[in-house]
Amino acid sequence: MKPLRVALLGCGTVGSEVVRLLREQAADLTARVGAPLELAGVAVRRPERAREHVDPGLLTTDAMSLVTRDDVDIVVEVIGGIEPARSLLLAAMKAGKSVVTANKALLAEDGETVFGAAREYGADLYYEAAVAGAIPLLRPLRESLVGDHVKRVIGIVNGTTNYILDQMDTFGASFTDALEEAQSLGYAEADPTADVEGFDAAAKAAILAQLAFHTPVSAADVHREGITEVTAADVAGAKAMNSVVKLLAICERVPDPDGSNGGRGVSVRVYPAMIPRSHPLASVREAYNAVFVEAQSAGSLMFYGAGAGGAPTASAVLGDLVAVARNRVGGTRGPVEVTYAELPVLPMGETVTRYYVQLDVADRSGVLAQVAELFARHDVSIQAVRQEGYGNDAKLVVVTHRAPDAALAATVEGLQRMDIVREVASVMRVEADEAP
């Protein structure tokens, strides 16, 4: 059988592992695809650098010529970022190549163009590695669950931030030390701001929401808060509540009051939140990822595994590579993205959540009543309130019932202006528990 020729774009953390696996598993991959997979070229920025497993004769800095070469069938993009990745993928699809990418930033920022090109040119576009690394998640959403009605997707989709929060929670590590470790382990993006400010998780949330709800969602639609403002007080507050702080990506269909099945819209958001230690997401440690999918007929499904790192991510890339190669051998195509639902993405203010608020207060009579009155004024119902310490160390901890995020935010602003409140020491959303 004629070999299928693969152009690899980028040979960093993920790309170098793709090359290694292609070489080490060549015989098995040939048997599984029905044709050998042959590396036609590797586009890099610095060809003078020695690379294990790569024949130097395959290296080029001219990625555009490589992707359009007649002897290339499949293009694997693991450069990352928007340009030149977008131009390279568009040129590849136009030239009739099948495409595999791990680039969530591009798919979330300008999925319309990239998915549109796949439709226009009839090209295969696979991207399992883009969300939750090695975990098979996009293929289940795109194929296995496509006959169901997905209601909610909630999970931990960024390994770097989970690693940092876990180190802070378990060992009391500093943010900076934990980030450096995550970088050295190959989990972090080239610019770790993408991880710690939540951009990476927001891109993944957009991709998940689009697939789950068959509706266009881009990174700009996602409410995003990172973990740079998570303090030791937040982590300690969570501990005292028998909870843990996790950076969550949440994609929800918001029910329509008239009961229509499609829903009023979708809420897509990323923020650090407290979850009870008894919840399965709380036991997701280090750089692992886990995602719950709640569907009408399937019920709750949990996907767990390595969400970052060279070899795990390369596993997902190889899975896609075999899939597109099989399609080429069989003369077929994979699934095409459909976003027929056109559900609106609702503003964060309308999203219903719960808050944990820790206040340093003056310890005198009437304080609790004034604080409670402010919550009531914003129609935010209190689930529990507790005082810790006394005198100058008095703290009030308030946990609310569900309320629109705008009402909760206005309540916190009001607390910040109250004389009796010395400091709003910690504010954190509370998720994934059963409370109303």
Ligand X SMILES: N[C@@H](CC=O)C(=O)O
Residues near ligand NAI (CB under 6 A): 9-15, 43-45, 63, 78-80, 84, 102-104, 129, 133, 186-187, 189-190, 308-309, 313
Determine, following the binding rule CB under 5 A, whether residue 137 of this chain makes contact with Na ion. Answer: yes
**According to the annotation, is 10 in a ligand binding site?**
yes
Answer with the entry of ligand NAI, ligand X, Na ion, none that 318 interacts with (C-beta below 5 to 8 A by kind). none
Distances, alpha carbon 251 to alpha carbons 127, 138, 155, 230, 428, in Å: 19, 14, 9, 22, 18
Residues 313 to 332 in contact with Na ion, rule: CB under 5 A: 316
Can you spell out the DSSP letters for 251-298? EEEEPPTT--TT-SEEEEEEEEEEEETTSGGGG--TTEEEEEEEETTT
* Nearest to ligand X of 29, 188 (CB atom): 188
Give residues 297-316 in contact with Na ion (rule: CB under 5 A).
316
Q: Read off the amino acid at residue 16.
A: S
Among 15, 276, 307, 334, binds ligand X (CB under 6 A): 307
Rule CB under 6 A: choose which of 133, 198, 276, 310 binds ligand X: 133
From the list 133-141, 227-235, 243-251, 336-344, the region that binds Na ion by CB under 5 A is 133-141
With vertex at residue 189, the alpha carbon angle to CA 65 and CA 161, rounded to the nearest 5 degrees, is 160
Indicate which of Na ion, ligand NAI, ligand X, none lies near residue 190 (CB less than 5 to 8 Å, by partner kind). Answer: ligand NAI
Residue 15 assigned as binding residue: yes
For residue 237, give the nearest of 433, 426, 10 by alpha carbon.
426
In the complex with Na ion, the residue whose CB is nearer, 145 or 346, is 145
Would you give the binding string for ligand X spanning residues 158-197, x where CB under 6 A is met?
xxx--------------------------xxx-----x--
Binding partner of 186, given Na ion, ligand NAI, ligand X, none, CB within 5-8 angstroms per partner class? ligand NAI
Q: Report d(CA 402, CA 372) in Å as an integer.
A: 16
Residue 204 annotated in active site:
yes
Task: Name the token pair of 14.
Answer: 């993920």
**Is 7 within 8 Å of 62 (Cβ atoms)?**
no
CA angle 403, 409, 415 (to 5 degrees): 110
State the Cα–Cα distance between residues 315 and 296, nearest whole angstrom. Answer: 30
Please pick, among 94, 97, 204, 395, the residue that the annotation labels catalytic: 204
Write the burial class of residue 387 (CB in 10 Å: 0-12 exposed, 13-18 middle, 19+ buried).
middle
Q: Does the annotation list 286 as a binding residue?
A: no
Least distance CB 327 / ligand X (angstroms):
25
Dist CA 110 CA 116 (whole Å):
10
Residues in touch with Na ion (CB under 5 A): 128, 132, 135, 137, 316
Residues in touch with ligand X (CB under 6 A): 133, 158-160, 187-189, 195, 200, 307-308
